Amino acid sequence: MKFCLLNIAYDDSFHGFQKQPDARTVQGEILNALRPIGIDKVVVSSRTDSHVRSCSNIIELKTDDCLKVCRIVDSIEGIFVKGYVMSDEYVKLRGKVIKHYLYIHPEPLNRIQVEKAINDFISSDYSLFSREPEKKVILDNVSFNIFPSYSAFTFVGRSFSWNFVRISVENIIKRSEGKIDDEEWSELLQGKRKFRFKGRAENLILFRTELGLEMKEYQSRKLNFLKEKEILTLYWLKGLGVDIDSILPHI
């Protein structure tokens, strides 16, 4: 039996990735769909919270028919298969993949103040912003861009959670806006005070996952429908006076 790795995307209709008894989750729906062909275990590179969208997340399972698995998973409402690769050995995903999380703040921010807050943050023991500070956070980069109608933050690294991004970004934002004073900021950076702010799950996207293995592209049958749906949404916004042309080049 070989191992199949799938690169999947999913929308914000799920109550997180991990299986829960009374909620529709990504893992739960995949297992329900794959059990008839004898698959009862699926591991993932990155768990996500309720209503967090993913453009790219890697799952792994045992099978000799990866294409059949792709077709079944791609048939699940809200889930899209982007690519796949077979492996003769189990690939330990946790801590190996590079994750890119994108957080959208729906207002432009003060660039100078955001830069100061990020510099303070990356110079500190930022693992303290995690819900499990005893587990070391490994970040490669924290960056941001400010546009006329929104701000976008990107966190890149191998070991951190969605909660860490939501907490870190929102406290950086509040610091840049002056809603966290010098004393509180200093204590937060030293782990002497608990955070008061946490960003919205709806603003967070698992944007990219890099495994280091070349995957074969899978043409999801639902992508054309998704494109049409999103284009209609954008033009609906345009009818409400939103300048979509200033947004599109940066998505």
- The whole-number average pLDDT for the span 138-161 is 91
Residue 251 banded pLDDT, cuts 50, 70, 90: very low
- The whole-number average pLDDT for the span 26-47 is 95
Residue 247 banded pLDDT, cuts 50, 70, 90: low
Please list, in sequence order, all residues whose beta carbon lies within 8 angstroms of the beta carbon of residue 152, skipping any fewer than 6 positions away: 102, 103, 104, 105, 144, 145, 250
Cα distance between residue 236 and residue 229, in whole Å: 11
Residue 228 banded pLDDT, cuts 50, 70, 90: confident
Percent of residues, the chain, with pLDDT higher than 70 = 96
Q: What is the pLDDT of residue 248?
A: 58
Give SS3 for 70.
helix
Residue 165 banded pLDDT, cuts 50, 70, 90: very high
Domains and CATH numbers, the chain: 3-95+211-226 (3.30.70.580), 98-205 (3.30.70.660)
- Partnered with residue 142 across adjacent β-strands are 155
Please name which of 121, 152, 151 lies closest in space to residue 139, comparing C-alpha atoms.
121
75-97 pLDDT, tens digit each: 999 999 999 999 999 998 877 89
Cα distance between residue 124 and residue 141, in whole Å: 14
